[in-house]
Amino acid sequence: MKTILKSKSQELIIDTEGPVVVIGESINPTRRKKLVETLSLNNFELAIQLAKSQIEAGADVLDINVGYPGVDDAALLPATVKAIQEEVDVPLCIDSPNPKAIEAALKVIEGRCLINSVNGEEKSLEAILPLAKAYDAAIIGLVMDDDGITHDPEKRLRIAEKILKRAIKQGIKEEDVVIDPLAMAVSADPNACLVTLETIRLVHEKLGLNITQGASNISFGLPNRDVLNMAHMVLSIWNGLTCPIANPNKITTMVRAADLIRAKDDYAIRFTEHYQMMEMMKKI
């Protein structure tokens, strides 16, 4: 299954059979006080800098989230998108719980983006799916619905199926639905990661869709979070994750290692190139 995204002049394929695509998460105000300060002043320098450094570190797509308390993201999200796509030429993933902000961003996007996200709630499906169809975007479908979050992987699969069916009914193509299996903190529930990994396996096997995940949640409340996140990332990729949303500085090396082990990187070309790039950046 191939999800095609586009930037101004580039096409990117997220392929369930191909190597992993990294979606950079760092343009996000959570725990980035300086980003909030600059964006509040309509100053996009730091956001652009985060865009460039993530691409150097291996990001193929950039997630753009400008949500912070009091923000008018229906104005700020499209403004940020415009500023970033003037400077870099990779596809974007527009990230907001506010359908008005999503629509405003869709209006200015050059290319073909990913919407982050729709979920199984009626309200969400009704607000987001028509936008994805109207503006020809791909969508991330989060496996929660009006009953909340279930801990049963089979039930999460059924929510993924529901989102897929509703998207197809809306005229969206199957390959443009990317599923997020939901990752929860393993410190709160010892089975949290197993539930996520089994959901990934089921969605991969039964639906064959591309799968994303913002996985740094899993290590919430624990020490040594990077190691835990890396281990979870490798296992998620093994089970069917194809386009994680993560900090490329922390995750790309491990993603490339997983691809090499899975025989998705013959002669270790991408693994070695990424290593050389990281070494070069250290020296600068």
**For residues 202 and 212, what is the distance between their CA atoms, to the nearest angstrom?**
14
Out of 161, 235, 249, 277, the residue judged to bind a copy of itself by CB under 8 A: 235
Return the SS3 of 240. coil
Please tell me whether residue 63 adopts helix, strand or coil conformation: strand
The answer to whether 166 and 200 are in contact (CB under 8 A) is no
One of 14, 131, 140, 258 touching a copy of itself (CB under 8 A): 258
Query: C-alpha angle with apex 132: 251 to 242, nearest 5 degrees?
Result: 25
Residue 267, sorted as left (phi over 0), alpha (psi -120 to 50) or beta, turns out to be left
Q: How many residues bind a copy of itself (CB under 8 A)?
A: 35
Residue 31 near a copy of itself by CB under 8 A: no
Site for a copy of itself contains 266 (CB under 8 A): yes
| Region from 62-70, 87-95, 134-142, 264-272 binding a copy of itself, contact rule CB under 8 A | 264-272
- Return the number of the residue (112 or 270) whose C-beta is nearest a copy of itself: 270
Task: State which residue, 96 or 252, has the beta carbon closest to a copy of itself.
Answer: 252
Tokens at 171, concatenated: 């005229």
**Smaller CB distance to a copy of itself: residue 133 or 264?**
264
Is residue 262 close enough to count as binding a copy of itself by CB under 8 A?
yes
Nearer to a copy of itself, 37 or 273 (CB): 273
Q: How far is the CB of 261 from a copy of itself (least distance, A)?
A: 4
Q: Supply the DSSP symbol for 148.
A: B
Nearest distance from residue 265's CB to a copy of itself, in Å? 8
Of 254, 183, 186, the residue nearest 22 (C-alpha): 254
Q: What one-character DSSP code corresponds to residue 61?
A: E
Q: Which residues of 183-210 are buried (b: 16+ CB within 10 A; e: fewer)?
A: bbebeeeeebbebbbbbbbbbbeebebb
**Interacting positions 45-84 with a copy of itself (CB under 8 A):** none
- State the Cα–Cα distance between residues 177 and 160, nearest whole angstrom: 9
Q: By CB under 8 A, is residue 260 in contact with a copy of itself?
A: yes
Which of these ranges, 70-78, 119-127, 152-160, 185-193, lies near a copy of itself under the rule CB under 8 A? 185-193
Residues that bind a copy of itself (CB under 8 A): 186-187, 190-191, 193-194, 197, 218, 222-224, 227-228, 230-232, 234-235, 238, 253-254, 257-258, 260-263, 265-268, 271-272, 275-276
